[in-house]
Amino acid sequence: MRRNYWLVSATLAVYLFLYLPLMVVVLFSFNDSKLNAEWVGFTLTWYEKLFNNREMLRAAANSLVIAVISALLASILGTLAGIALHRFRQKWLSALVLGPVAMPDILIGVSLLLMFILFNFTLGTSSIILAHVSFCIGFVALAVQARMAGMDDSLIEAARDLGATPWQSFRLITLPALTPGIIAGAMMAFTLSIDDFVITFFTAGVGSKTLPLEIYSMVKIAVTPEVNAVSSLLMLLTLILISAIARLSPQVLRS
Amino acid sequence: MALPPAAYLVVFFAIPSAMMLFASFRYPGEYGGLAPWYYLEGGEFSLDLTLENWLRLFESDIYLNLLLKSLSYALVTTAICVIMAYPVALTIARSHKRYRDLLLLLVILPFWSNFLVRIYAWMIIFSPQGALTLGLNHLRELLGMEPTRLMFSGTAVITCLVYVHLPFMILPLYANLEKHDPSLLDAAQDLGASRSQRFWKITWPLSLPGVFAGAVLVFIPSLGIFAIPDLLGGTNGIMIGNVIKQQFVEARDWPFGSVLSLVLTAFTLALIGLAAKLGQPRRNTDSTSPKGKANAA
Amino acid sequence: MKKLLCCFALSLSQLALAEKTLQLFNWNDYIAPATVERFEAQCQCKVVQDYYSSTEEMMAKLLAGAADYDVVIPTQNAVEALIAQNFLQPLDKAKLSNISNMAAGFMNKSYDPGNTYSVPYAFTTTLIGYNETRFKELGIQADNWSVIFDPAVLEKLKGKVTVMDDSEELMAAAMLYLGYTINDTDEKHLKAAQQAILTAKPYWAAFNSSSYIKELTVGNIWVAHGYSSDMFQARADAIDAGRDFSINFALPVQGAVLALDNMVIPNKARDTELAHQFINFMMAPENAAELTNEIGTGNPNGAARAFIQPEILAIAAIFPDTQQQQKLETIAARTAKQRRFQNRLWTEIKVR
C-alpha cells in the first residue's frame, strides 16, 4: 500500500483530538493556580489536598468496595449467562441479558429508582451494587460467550466419552478454558462499575457517594484543580487495569 | 444454568421497566414519588389511574421539538464520528499486524478514563477565560465578527458527545475494514480505477455494516445522555435526558418522567430493531462470484 | 512523594478508626469549615456533609429514599412540607439549652408553631450579585430585577448572566419584576412570569445555582441571581484573588425573597443524640456568629449579635432594616396542584 499522507495526517489529528483534552487535565493538576486557565508553576499541593480530602477518600473507598462486589457477582452470573447464551441461543435470554447493555443508562437508572422506592428499599451502597450488577452481567456474558465460541467443543465430547460427569467436564475442562475470558469480563465489570455515573446517580443513598458522583458535585460546585488530580490518578488506575486486560485477552477489547 | 442470571435480570431489569410503564398511568405524589393507584374507602375499591401524563406529550409542540432536537444532536454527533473515525480505522486496518493492537489500545485508552473527567476536560478547554475561546475571539475580531462564546452552547455539547463516543465508532469500523480483501483494490487499480473511485465503489460499500454498527453504538447512548448537556449546554443545549432527569429529581413528577422515559425506550428499541435488520450481512457478497461483485459494488 | 503516601495511609487509617459520624445535609457553602472542625473536636466525631443547591433538589433526595441524614437545613416552606409528610421528629428541648439565645422575632412562626420540629439557623435574601466595575462602565443600575429580565438592559449583558436553576426562586423574581407578589397563585400572572423568563432566556448564559460564586469571581459572568451569603463570599473571594474588578450585591427595589433556614432532624436519623448536640452547638453565640462572619448570612440568633463584625451588620442586603423588610417575602408552601402547575411551567421554560 502506498503511503497516503492525507490519511496519515487525518489519523494523527484524530489521535491528537482524543488525547489533548486529557493531557490538559493532567497538566493542570500540577498547576500552581486555582483556575484552569494558564500555567503558573509546578506544584503538588492539589494531590496533597486530595489525600486530605476526607469526602473524596470516602467516595474512593466506596467506589472500590462497590466495584469489587459488583464485579464478583457479575462474574458469577455473567459466566452462567454467557454459557447459556452459547448453548441455548434463546432470543428472550439474549434480550434479557443484553438489554441493560443496549439501553441508555438513564432509563436503567430511573426504572431501578422507581422500583426501589416502590418496594420501600432504602437507597444506599447495596442499591448501587444491585444496579451495577444488572448491567455488568451483559458484558461478562459477552466475553464468556465469545470465548466459548472459540472453544473446541470436541474436547468436552471426548471427556464425556471417557466417562466424565457433566459437572466434572464443566469443572475440569470448560471452566479452565473460559478463565481468561471470565477474568477479562470481571475486570471490565470492575472498570465499568468504578466509572459509572448515570445509574449510580439515581440509585445512590445517604453516605454512599462514589467517586464519579463526588467529582460531579465538585465540578458543579467548587471546581478546584483537586478534580484534575483525582482525574489523573483515576486515569493511571485504568491504564494499569487495561494493560492487564489487554495482556490476558485481546479479543475482549474488540467486543 | 440460565436460571440465576435470568432470575436476577427479571427482578432488576424487566420488573423495573414494567413498573415504569405502570407508573406512567398514575398521579404524582403529594410531595414527590407516586400517588397510590387505588383507594379503599369504606369497602369501595376505586382505581386512580389517568391518561393525562401521556396526553401532556401532545398538548404543545415543545416535547416533539425536544425529541427532534435530541435526535438532531445525536445525528450530527454520529455523522461527525463517522467522518473522524474512518481515517483512523482505515489506517489501523491497513497497518502492519504488529502495530495494530498498539494502535487499537491507544484508541481505547482515553475511553477508559472516567466519563466525567472527559467532560471536565472540555469544560476547561471551552472556558471563557481559556486559550481556545480567547484565541478564537481574537480571530473573529480580526475578521470583523463579534466575539462568541464556546461554553454553554450546542457546539460544546456536540463536541463533547463526539469526543466521548468516538471509540465506539472506530472499533466496529475497524473490525469490518480489517476483513476487506486487499486484492479487490489491487485488481481495481490494475483496471485503472483512481484512488477516489476505489474508495467510493469498493471500500465504502463494503464497510457499510461496520458503519451501521458504529452508528448504532454512538446514536443510542447520545440520545439518552444528560451529564454533557447539563454541564456544557447552558440554557439551550437541553436534551431529552435532561428533562427526564429533571422530572425525577427537581420537578418530582415521576409519572411524567416515566412517560418521557418510555418514549425514549420506544425509540431506542425501534432503532435497535432497524439496526439489527440493516446490519445483517448481505447475502452473496463473496467477491468471486459475479453476483457477489454486483452486490458489493 | 513519600509525604503523599504517608498522608494517604494516614487518612485511610483515620477513616477506619472514625466511629461516630454526623450526616449533615446542608446548602453548599453554608457552614464555615472552622465551625465544623470545632464541633468535631468537641464531640469526638466526624461530620460528613452532603450538599444541595436548591430546595427542590433537597426535597427530591429526601423523599426519594435518602432519608437517614441526621441533620438537614431546609428553608421554611420546605419545613412545612416535611412536617406535613410526617418526615421530622420533634426536637427534645431539654437537650437544646442554647435555644434561649434565639431572637423572638424568628421563633414560633406559622410554619412550625412552638418550634416543635425546627430551630432557625440563618436567613438569606435572594438578590443580584454583579461585577461592579463592568456595571460602572456600562452605566447600569444593579438594584432592579430588570437587570435580569429587561431585554433592553440584557442587550449589553448578553451571555454574561446566570440565573438560579430553581423554579420557585426564578418565578418569584419574575413575579416581582412584573409587580406581583411572589405567593400570587393567579395562573394568568404565573404564565406572564413564565413569558418574562422565556423572553429573557436567550440572553442568559446558563441556569446555575451552584457555581455562580466562582463564575462571578473569575469574571466569566457579570450578573448572577443568587443568595446574599454567596454574593458576600464572591465579593471576599474577588478581593482575595486580587482581581482588577470588584463584586457587589444589591437588593432590587421591587422586593426579594427572604429565606429562613432551619435545623431539623428526620425521623430516620441514625444518631439523634449527636444531631441534638450539633443543633445546640450551632445555637451557641460564637458558632452562630461565625456563620455570619465567614459566610455572610443573616443571623436569627440574638445573643450572637455581640460577636458579629459591625461592617457586616451594616450591610442592608444581609441585615435589612425595617423599611426594606416590608418588601421581603417568604415563599409559602405550595399545594400539590400549585406545584404541578408550576412544574409544568418550569419544564416548558427549560425545554423551549
What pLDDT, in 10s, does the model give residues B141-182? Answer: 888 777 777 888 888 999 999 999 998 888 888 888 887 888
Judged against a pLDDT cut of 80, whether residue C204 lies above it is answered with yes
- pLDDT (0 to 100) of residue C210: 79
C249 min Cα distance to partner chain B (Å): 23
CA distance A224 to A236: 20
C100 min Cα distance to partner chain A (Å): 32
- Chain B's closest residue to C203, CA to CA, is B235
Per-residue confidence band for B293, with pLDDT thresholds at 50, 70 and 90? very low
Judged against a pLDDT cut of 80, whether residue C27 lies above it is answered with yes
Helix (H) or strand (E) holding C257: strand C256-264
* Least confident piece of the model among A179-188, B256-265, C259-268: A179-188
- pLDDT (0 to 100) of residue C109: 86
If you search the block for the grid coordinates 451494587, which residue do you land on? A129
Cell digits of residue A202? 439515581
Instruction: Report which of residues C95 and A3 the model is more confident about.
Output: C95
B148: left (phi over 0), alpha (psi -120 to 50) or beta: beta
Q: Give the C-alpha distances (Å, rounded to integers) separating B52 from B46, B102, B120, B245.
A: 18, 55, 39, 20
Give yes or no for C341 touching B (CB within 8 A): no
SS3 content of chain C, % helix, strand, coil (to 5): 50, 15, 30
Judged against a pLDDT cut of 60, whether residue B296 lies above it is answered with no
Over residues B59-118, the pLDDT tens digits come to 878 888 888 899 999 999 999 999 999 999 888 888 888 788 788 878 877 877 788 888
B32 min Cα distance to partner chain C (Å): 7
Cell digits of residue C7? 498522608
DSSP code, position B1: -
pTM over 0.90: no
Per-residue confidence band for C15, with pLDDT thresholds at 50, 70 and 90? very low
Angle at Cα C186 formed by Cα C181 and Cα C191, nearest 5°? 90
Per-residue confidence band for C17, with pLDDT thresholds at 50, 70 and 90? very low
Centroid of chain to Cα C27:
6
CA distance C49 to C66: 13
Cell digits of residue A42? 509546578
Instruction: Report which of residues A82 and B74 the model is more confident about.
Output: B74
- pLDDT (0 to 100) of residue B280: 61
All residues of chain B having their beta carbon less than 8 Å from the beta carbon of residue C59 are 31-32, 252
Round the average pLDDT of chain B to a whole number and report it. 81
* Least confident piece of the model among A158-172, B24-38, B164-178, C43-57: B24-38
Best of A47, A51, A227 to mutate (most C CBs within 10 Å, chain C): A51
Pairing of strands B44-47, C21-27: unpaired
CA distance A4 to C270: 67
CA-based R_g, chain A, Å: 22
Verify whether the Cβ–Cβ distance A253 to B104 is below 8 Å: yes
Mean pLDDT of the B186-208 span: 83
Judged against a pLDDT cut of 60, whether residue A227 lies above it is answered with yes
Q: What sign has the CA pseudo-torsion C213, C215, C217, C221? A: negative
Q: Which of C196, C162, C202 is nearest to C177 (CA)?
A: C196
Verify whether the Cβ–Cβ distance C351 to B63 is below 8 Å: yes
Verify whether the Cβ–Cβ distance A197 to B182 is below 8 Å: no
Judged against a pLDDT cut of 80, whether residue B47 lies above it is answered with no
Verify whether the Cβ–Cβ distance A18 to B110 is below 8 Å: yes
Q: Which of A251-255, B288-292, C14-18, C59-63 has the highest mean pLDDT?
A: C59-63
- pLDDT (0 to 100) of residue B150: 81
C-beta separation of B27 from B34 below 8 A:
yes
C-beta separation of A123 from C65 below 8 A:
yes
Pairing of strands C118-131, C161-163: unpaired
C187 min Cα distance to partner chain A (Å): 31
Nearest to A112 among B12, B85, B110 (CB): B12
Name the β-bridge partners of C347: none
Over residues C89-107, the pLDDT tens digits come to 999 999 999 998 888 888 8
If you search the block for the grid coordinates 472516567, which residue do you land on? B114
The angle that helices A226-248 and A54-88 make with each other, rounded to 10 degrees, is 30
Judged against a pLDDT cut of 80, whether residue A32 lies above it is answered with no
Q: Provide the residue type at C206 as one letter.
A: A
Mean pLDDT of the A241-246 span: 72
User: How many C-beta atoms lie closer than 10 Å to residue B139's C-beta?
Assistant: 11
Judged against a pLDDT cut of 60, whether residue C303 lies above it is answered with yes
Mean pLDDT of the A210-232 span: 80
- pLDDT (0 to 100) of residue C39: 94
Verify whether the Cβ–Cβ distance A117 to C64 is below 8 Å: yes
SS3 content of chain A, % helix, strand, coil (to 5): 80, 0, 20
Q: How many residue pairs from chains A and B have C-beta atoms closer than 8 A? A: 223
Judged against a pLDDT cut of 80, whether residue A238 lies above it is answered with no
**Strand, coil or helix: C127:** strand
- Which residues are within 8 A (CB) of B167 and not within 5 positions of it... i.e. 6 or more apart? A18, B107, B108, B110, B111
All residues of chain C having their beta carbon less than 8 Å from the beta carbon of residue A52 are 7, 11
Q: Which of A223, A181, A226, A217 is nearest to A197 (CA)?
A: A217
CA distance B113 to C57: 29
- pLDDT (0 to 100) of residue B44: 66
Best of A11, A19, A202 to mutate (most B CBs within 10 Å, chain B): A11
Q: Give the C-alpha distances (Å, rounded to integers) separating C269 from A164, A212, C258, C264.
A: 57, 26, 28, 10
The beta-strand segments (E) located in chain B are 38-41, 44-47
Instruction: Report which of residues C347 and A221 the model is more confident about.
Output: C347
Chain A residues 196-225 within an 8 A CB cutoff of chain C: 204-207, 209, 217, 220-223
Cell digits of residue B121? 476536560
Judged against a pLDDT cut of 80, whether residue A236 lies above it is answered with yes
Over residues B83-99, the pLDDT tens digits come to 999 999 888 888 888 78
Over residues A113-129, the pLDDT tens digits come to 888 888 878 778 888 99
- Chain A's closest residue to B124, CA to CA, is A36
**Strand, coil or helix: B88:** helix
Name the β-bridge partners of B38: B47
All residues of chain C having their beta carbon less than 8 Å from the beta carbon of residue B250 are 54, 56-57, 60, 165, 167, 346
SS3 content of chain B, % helix, strand, coil (to 5): 70, 5, 25
- pLDDT (0 to 100) of residue C66: 66
All residues of chain A having their beta carbon less than 8 Å from the beta carbon of residue C23 are 206-207
DSSP code, position B148: -
Phi, psi for A210 (deg, rounded to 5)? -105, 175
- Chain C's closest residue to B248, CA to CA, is C60
Chain A residues 211-230 within an 8 A CB cutoff of chain B: 211-212, 215-216, 219-220, 223, 227-228
C-beta separation of C27 from C50 below 8 A:
no
Best of A6, A17, A18 to mutate (most B CBs within 10 Å, chain B): A18
* Least confident piece of the model among B117-126, C9-18, C26-35: C9-18
Mean pLDDT of the B221-239 span: 86
Per-residue confidence band for C193, with pLDDT thresholds at 50, 70 and 90? very high
- Number of DSSP helices (H) and strands (E) in chain B, helices first: 15, 2
CA distance A236 to C9: 19
CA distance B260 to C36: 42
- pLDDT (0 to 100) of residue C6: 45
Judged against a pLDDT cut of 70, whether residue B232 lies above it is answered with yes
Phi, psi for B87 (deg, rounded to 5)? -55, -40
Verify whether the Cβ–Cβ distance B251 to C219 is below 8 Å: no
Nearest to B235 among C85, C201, C219 (CB): C201
All residues of chain A having their beta carbon less than 8 Å from the beta carbon of residue C7 are 48, 51-52
User: How many C-beta atoms lie closer than 10 Å to residue C243's C-beta?
Assistant: 15
CA distance C82 to C77: 9
Give yes or no for C245 touching B (CB within 8 A): no
Judged against a pLDDT cut of 90, whether residue B297 lies above it is answered with no
If you search the block for the grid coordinates 487509617, which residue do you land on? C13
Q: Which of the other chains make 3 or more beta carbon contacts under 8 angstroms with chain B?
A: A, C
- Which residues are within 8 A (CB) of C326 and not within 5 positions of it... i.e. 6 or more apart? none
**Strand, coil or helix: C25:** strand
Pairing of strands C247-250, B44-47: unpaired
- pLDDT (0 to 100) of residue A222: 63
CA distance A83 to A166: 14
- pLDDT (0 to 100) of residue B291: 40
Over residues A174-215, the pLDDT tens digits come to 788 788 778 878 878 888 888 889 999 888 876 688 888 888
All residues of chain A having their beta carbon less than 8 Å from the beta carbon of residue C50 are 206-207, 209
**Strand, coil or helix: A177:** helix
Verify whether the Cβ–Cβ distance C50 to A58 is below 8 Å: no
C-beta separation of C53 from C209 below 8 A:
yes
Round the average pLDDT of chain A to a whole number and report it. 81
CA distance C117 to C123: 17
C-beta separation of C295 from C229 below 8 A:
yes
CA distance B181 to B187: 11
Round the average pLDDT of chain C to a whole number and report it. 87
Angle at Cα C36 formed by Cα C33 and Cα C37, nearest 5°? 90
Over residues A11-20, the pLDDT tens digits come to 899 999 999 8
CA distance B127 to C219: 11
- pLDDT (0 to 100) of residue A38: 66
Verify whether the Cβ–Cβ distance C69 to A206 is below 8 Å: yes
Centroid of chain to Cα B5:
27
Mean pLDDT of the C302-324 span: 86
Chain B residues 170-189 within an 8 A CB cutoff of chain A: 171, 175, 182
Best of A50, A110, A238 to mutate (most B CBs within 10 Å, chain B): A110
- pLDDT (0 to 100) of residue B2: 66
Per-residue confidence band for A144, with pLDDT thresholds at 50, 70 and 90? confident
Centroid of chain to Cα C63:
20
